[in-house]
Amino acid sequence: MKILGNILWLIFGGLEAAIGYFTGALALAVTIVGIPWALQIFKIGLLCLWPFGAEVTRDEFPPGCLRIPLNILWFIFGGLWAWICHVLFGIVLCITIIGIPWGKQHFKMAGLAVTPFGRNVKLNF
């Protein structure tokens, strides 16, 4: 079932969202300063490619003390807008019974889009 859900997700917008995230990650990676954020955006893009069956977990022992300031900067300059988009799409999809599974995936991505530093994405094929 998750394979069918992922295929439908890719056909109806997931691929375009992932390409958008990957393009943003590439643009940030070009600047040396943006590499930490580019890695996190790439992580969100991977979740956009295969959301059904993927798990978002928190690091038990996150490395370093920069996680909090980097999450704050991310939230101010891009995470808020990504969160708003995923929450709005999730609400719209949850209006219909058929769209609830896809709405749940948007809510999963919204949680990752708020604070990506200190979280891992595990893709289960």
Mean local confidence (pLDDT), 45-72: 86
Number of domains in the chain: 1
Give the relative orientation of helices 100-114 and 80-94 as an angle to the nearest 10 degrees: 170
Which pLDDT band, with edges at 50, 70 and 90, does 118 fall under? confident
Give 108's Cβ-side CA count (13 Å radius). Answer: 23
With 90 as the cut, is the pLDDT of residue 62 above it? no
The DSSP bridge pattern shows strands 55-58 and 119-122 to be antiparallel
pTM, entire model: 0.88
Beta strands in the chain (DSSP E): 55-58, 119-122
Structural domain that includes position 43: 2-122
The pLDDT value recorded for residue 7 is 92
Which pLDDT band, with edges at 50, 70 and 90, does 107 fall under? very high
Give CA–CA dist 111/122, Å, rounded. Answer: 15
Strand partners, 120: 57
